[in-house]
Structure 1
Amino acid sequence: MVTQGQASPDHPLTVVISRRVKSGKETEFEALSAEMTTRASHFPGYLGATMFRPASADDPEYRIVFKFAGQAALSDWEQSPERLEVLQQIEQLLITPSERETVSGIVSWFTLPGQNPVQPPPRYKMTLVSWLALYPAVTVIFFLFGDWLAAMPLAIRTLLVTASVMLLMSYVLMPRMTRWFSRWLYPTSRSRSR
């Protein structure tokens, strides 16, 4: 089964692959998954990957979460012979075909930990944690650069502040905030080995 959310070609995308591995094939599967990650890392736009191993022997599902800088970079990787070669070998080790979901925007900030990394926390929790990261980021920017920004036209000032804040939120603040608040964001989840 393949599912894909609406995604903008100009924004980072998070892809979550769910794979249920046949008993006794786990070591082979993990080696092929590592090879897949190594190959992906050589493609422009690749931003990283994480593997979540099964929580128990009763549920042999692996989740692989990886990110690309945009739709074009993701498409180049997904259509590449390098990926297809390893994918054919991986699919032979699975109980059912891989499931895939692509997400973008704020939901991709909330991908750790959890029984399903794509399943976001309640909206009020995402809003509060985002605000807890956003407020100090904006405050620091205005504290450090307020006088300099005040001399600029409103449109330029807003452009610089929002660009800076979004970069901080996506690459610095939200990965940490999601990790620090993981017990509250995902109260019923159990952390998985990576």
Structure 2
Amino acid sequence: MVENKEPITVIISRRVKPEMVKEFESLTSEMTERASRFPGYLGTTLFKPSSSIDPEYRIMFKFQDMNSLQEWEGSSQRAEILEKIEDLLITTSEREQVSGLITWFTLPSTNPITPPPRYKMSLISWLALYPAVPLIFWLFESWLIEFPMFIRIFMVTALVIVLMTYLLMPFMTKRFAFWLYPKSTPEDSDV
């Protein structure tokens, strides 16, 4: 069996009883704090409900690889808090696991979270990447020229990945949401 060594994101959707919101948020903070002590933990993002139309909390846990995620998910530290959290919910938690470039295309305000077709992800990634690479070379050219080619490529690609993950792809995903996540038509909802 081949181990999955790429980063894993778990997206959990929860609908909380209105009178239990404070307790839920407190337990969620405790859950995050406990997860942060586990090897391979990369971070958590909490999205609070955006409106009454979309009343779900979404929590994104990121882990270095599948083994790290499984260690956390099998832990007694997680199970103890999870049992308390489940008692505060209107319905049971929904869980989705994604990895790779798909994590660049998750919109916390859509439900369910479904990645767009690969051709759309590729095109939007390219539209973000194309101006970023020449800009980095233009801005840092005099400094980069001092290094051998492979080190230059290493530094530029590291910077591009950080820009893509934290700045460009969140911007592009929101900007092109109308195309990446088209609203379903009435005919679609009958399917």
Quick one: structure 1 residues 7 and 116, their matched pair in 2 at CA, closer, same or farther if it must change by over 3 Å? farther
SS of the residue 1:30 aligns to: helix
Per-residue CA deviations over 1:94-142 (Å, capped at 9, x if unaligned) read 576433222121100111132222x111222211211121112111111
**Take 2:174 and 2:83, find their aligned partners in 1: how far apart are those partners?**
34
Matching residue within 103, 106, 114 for 2:101? 106
Q: What residue is the counterpart of 2:121 in the other structure?
A: 126
Residues 50 and 162 (structure 1 numbering): CA distance in 2 closer, same or farther, change over 3 Å? Answer: same
State the secondary structure of the residue aligned to 2:56. Answer: strand
Aligned residue number for residue 192 of structure 1? none
3-state DSSP of counterpart to 1:138: helix
Is 2:47 aligned against 1:50?
yes
CA distance in 1, matches of 2:57, 2:75: 21
Give the secondary structure class of the aligned counterpart of 1:46.
strand
1:3 is matched with none
1 CA distance for matches of 2:23 and 2:78? 11
Aligned to 1:35: 26
Residue type of the alignment partner of 2:99: S
2:156 & 2:84 partners in 1: Cα distance? 47
Q: Please say if residues 14 and 104 of structure 1, whose CA atoms lie closer than 8 Å, have aligned partners that are also in contact.
A: yes
Structure 2-normalised TM-score? 0.72
Q: Any conservation in 1 of the 2:63–2:69 contact (CA below 8 Å)?
A: yes
Choose 82-91 or 47-56, whichever is displaced more. 47-56
The C-alpha deviation readout for 1:6-37, integer Å capped at 9, x for no partner, is 985463x3211244x5xxx6214533431233
Cα contact 1:133–1:169 (8 A) shared by 2: yes
2-structure distance, mates of 1:87, 1:154: 49
- Corresponding residue of 1:66: 60
Within 5 Å, give how 1:144-163 maps onto structure 2.
144-163=139-158
Q: 2:11 aligns with which of 11, 16, 33?
A: 16
Report 1 or 2 for greater relative contact order, CA contacts < 8 Å, sequence distance ≥ 6: 1
Unaligned runs of 5+ in 2: 185-191
Contact 1:17–1:98 (Cα < 8 Å) also in 2:
yes
Classify 1:110/1:133 alpha carbon distance in 2 versus 1 (closer, same or farther; 3 Å): same
Secondary structure class of the residue paired with 2:115: coil
1:46 positional shift: 2.2
Is the Cα contact below 8 Å between 2:47 and 2:58 reproduced in 1? yes
Gaps of 5+ in 1: 1-5, 190-194
In 1, Cα distance between equivalents of 2:165 and 2:75: 27
> For this pair of structures, how many residues does the alignment match?
175
| Cα gap change, 1:80 to 1:54, in 2 (>3 Å) | farther
- AA aligned to 2:111 is Q
- Cα drift, residue 64 of structure 1: 1.9
Give the alignment's Cα RMSD to 1 decimal. Answer: 3.2
- Greater fraction of residues in helix: 2
One-letter code of the match for 1:31? K
- Identical amino acids, percent of aligned pairs: 43
Q: Which moved more, 1:171-180 or 1:75-84?
A: 75-84
